[in-house]
Amino acid sequence: MMSSWKTLESIDQLEKAIEDSFNKPVVLFKHSVSCGISARAKYMLEENWKFDQGSFDFYYLDLLGFRNVSNEIADRFKVQHQSPQVIIIKNGEAVYDMSHHKISAQSLESAMITI
């Protein structure tokens, strides 16, 4: 089970996460608090998480509250904005992204094995 997310609320925190991605991959979860699909995706990730979290940093972004950070992620990584969305950053680059009903702990775990 997912134990905790780091919150992502500023461009400075995003810069730090990108810097940290050179040491270990960073998972960004972009969440819309007003969207049922997003709530379901978050719940399913948290309930079905089955691997060592020490290998990755996990960030949660309330994209309605921090739209500027969400926009910066889309611009910086050339990843079309979606909600909900999971993006994995490694060595400063987006190496994986998934959105909507395709988000699952299993698909994310599979992606993490290959990066």
- Note the pLDDT of residue 51: 59
pLDDT per residue as tens digits for the range 55-80 = 788 898 998 899 999 999 999 999 88
Angle between helices 11-20 and 67-77 (to 10 degrees): 40
Q: Are 94 and 87 in contact (CB under 8 A)?
A: yes
Q: CB–CB of 62/86 below 8 Å?
A: no
Do residues 12 and 70 lie in contact, with contact meaning Cβ atoms separated by under 8 Å?
no
pLDDT digits 0-9 by tens, 24-53: 999 898 988 887 888 888 888 777 776 566
pLDDT at 52: 63
What whole-number distance in Å separates Cα of residue 115 and Cα of residue 111? 7
Mean residue pLDDT across the chain: 85
Residue 3 predicted with pLDDT over 60: no
Contacts of 34 (CB under 8 A, 6+ apart): 64
Superfamily of domain 6-114, CATH level 4: Glutaredoxin (3.40.30.10)
Model-level pTM? Answer: 0.86
**pLDDT surpassing 60 at residue 1:** no
Domain residues of the chain, as ranges?
Answer: 6-114
